[in-house]
A and B are shown apart, each in its own frame.
Chain A
Amino acid sequence: MTEPHVPYHRRRIVPLLYAAFVLLPLYWLFIISFMTQEEATAGLSLVPQKPTLNNYLFILTDSGWAMGFVNAAIYTSINVALSLTVAIPAAYAFSRYRFLGDKHLFFWLLASRMTPSAVLFLPLVQLYSEIGLMDRTIGVALAHCLFTVPVAVWILEGFFKNIPVELDETSRVDGRGGAAFAFQVLLPVAAPGIGVAAFFCFMASWVELILANALTTTEAKPIIAVLFRAGGPLGFVHLPILCAAGVLTILPGLGLVYFVRHYLASGLSMGRVGRM
């Protein structure tokens, strides 16, 4: 018996067509990544004639490109750790208490998410140059907090609100306050929410280009900025290599999405849909 009373439309063709629309363009990214430049630019092909791994080998052996992946992985990880560290206490405060200016603060947190990078990148470059954060992974991680922290607070606030307040009170009676409450009670219960928040921080930091490109020059260049330089809008410099790098940039997200798939949808709606 599968949900006899929920009359979702039975025409499964609709989501299937949507899945085809999403996956087909990626199919070409995938097959071109196994072609030579000549084959890729000769015309439309449906399968690679002589598949080659050379494009992937080039990326993994060229230090500039390979380090691009390492740099992106480093600042993304720092960003996730930093975002969660500051977002968890803030989200807890917003979910449990009212305090001076709470509604306004909540909006101004979001305001930094709503601010176009094009507005901020120039003074950010100057500020970070002054204090030695230019061209360092920690600098990019810090700048990305502008849009990861607000989203993390928003998601976690929703999840925390769904945890009964009685849990806090019981712990207090048990003599667990402050850090003991946070680590032994709250965080284990909120684990799915924290996972989803981490996922969204990862995602936002991984896909971003404007700030990551502006704040790095050589040492901390992420793969996306390397690609942007090598194959920007001026043309296909070496299309199959760009495609191979593209395929590699998709893999981490694909791996992570599998782990959070059950919580993804409710996390994206900021954990709030269940209690309207």
Chain B
Amino acid sequence: MRTKAPYRNSALWLVVPCLVLLLFSFAIPIVAVVNYSVHDVFSGNTFVWAGGYWYEHVLSSSTFWDTLGRTFLYAVLVIAIEIPLGVWIALHIPRAGRQSSFFIIVAAIPLLIPWFIVGLVWKIIADPAIGPLGVSAVALGTFYDLNSPIIAWAVIILADIWHWTGLVVLLSYAALVAIPRAYYQAAQVDGASRGAIFRFVELPRLKRVLIIALLLRMVDGLMIYIEPFMITRGGPGVSTTFLSQDLIQTAMKEFDFGEASAAALIYLLIMLALSWALFRIMTAADD
């Protein structure tokens, strides 16, 4: 048991530099976004008061809800695949030695690659003329058409699995390595099956890292932009257009700062609410 940390308000001074830095690049822009969202903005510097107009506009727009729904579907799908898959792979990695180093580095590689390059790699792999996945699918005669929403989704989900399963592997592996050997010995003395060891010895120790994985994967899944944009350009139609891409297009191509900002704030509130809920679950798990 750790003793409770002492109470000392002057420790706040140690946090001040960090807060100043973040407030500068976070709070000021957020205030600006709020300001845009209640105005009609012309050529970036003429503001006409619009009140709640943009919020009503966004909330009553079926495009916004469709895009939000697609973005959530995407995040839920990748989490549902990557978390169990990552845990399963981590369970099979040896807990010590050279081989474990090798697998750790392999799991880390996709995380180190610029997102644009991840998109490029999967655009190549999925290409029906030059990519191994596309060419083999065509050669096997399976239905393979990147203009079909199902295939486009399958490819971007596969790319996401490739990109982010390593994160779950690394997190789970770290938790598994930290389990004292005595726990396993005790379980073996009791004659526990492999399944029971996982359920009663390993899973409880994985709980905390899995909440971290869930938090990170959920947030990044909901922010997804570059990889689908590179691979499918958001198409066919709008079937792989997600919220970030939609916002950037509304702001940059249509110059609707007001609309983009209202949508951005709604998006932000959803993200913060979800993060707060998971953060509370995580701190509750700590105590």
Contacts and interface: CB of A to CB of B under 8 A. Distances in A.
Interface in B153-182: 162, 165-167, 169-171, 173-178, 181
Interface string B113-142: 111110111111100011110010000000
Given A15-B103, A115-B271, A257-B109, A149 B21 contact: yes
21 contacts: A8-B176, A32-B124, A41-B129, A44-B131, A86-B21, A97-B6, A99-B12, A114-B271, A118-B264, A118-B267, A119-B33, A119-B264, A120-B25, A122-B33, A124-B29, A146-B26, A149-B18, A149-B21, A206-B112, A208-B114, A253-B112
Interface string A1-35: 01101111101101100110111111011001000
Interface string B35-74: 0100000001000000000000000000000000000000
A267 to B, nearest CB: 8
B14 A26 contact: no
A24 B6 CA distance: 52
A273 B92 contact: no
The 9 A-B residue pairs with the shortest CB-CB distance, nearest first, are A253-B112, A123-B32, A265-B174, A123-B29, A93-B14, A14-B92, A97-B11, A118-B244, A89-B14
A75 B37 CA distance: 31
A215 B197 CA distance: 51
- Bin chain A's interface residue count: 35 or more
B267 to A, nearest CB: 6
B22 A224 contact: no
A182 to B, nearest CB: 10
B151 interface: no
A29 B113 CA distance: 12
Given A87-B18, A207-B112, A209-B116, A115 B26 contact: yes
Contacts of B257: 122
B111 interface: yes
B222 interface: yes
B264 A99 contact: no
A14 B275 contact: no
Interface string A89-124: 110111111111001010101111111111111111
Contacts of A119: 33, 247, 264-265, 267-268
Interface string B93-106: 11111010111111
Contact of B174 (A105, A203, A266): A266
B12 A9 contact: no
B2 to A, nearest CB: 8
Contact of A269 (B109, B116, B174): B174
Contacts of A103: 283
Given A265-B170, A266-B174, 7 more contacts: A21-B162, A44-B132, A99-B10, A116-B271, A120-B25, A246-B114, A273-B209
Contacts of A22: 106-107, 109-110, 162, 166
Interface string B185-206: 1001000001001000000010
Given A22-B110, A143-B25, A207-B114, A265 B9 contact: no
B249 to A, nearest CB: 10
Interface in B207-233: 208-209, 212, 219, 222-223, 225-226, 229-231, 233
A116 B222 contact: yes
A224 B226 CA distance: 12
Nearest to B41: A122
Interface in A231-258: 231-233, 239, 242-243, 246, 249-250, 253-254, 256-258
B21 A249 contact: no
A24 B185 contact: no
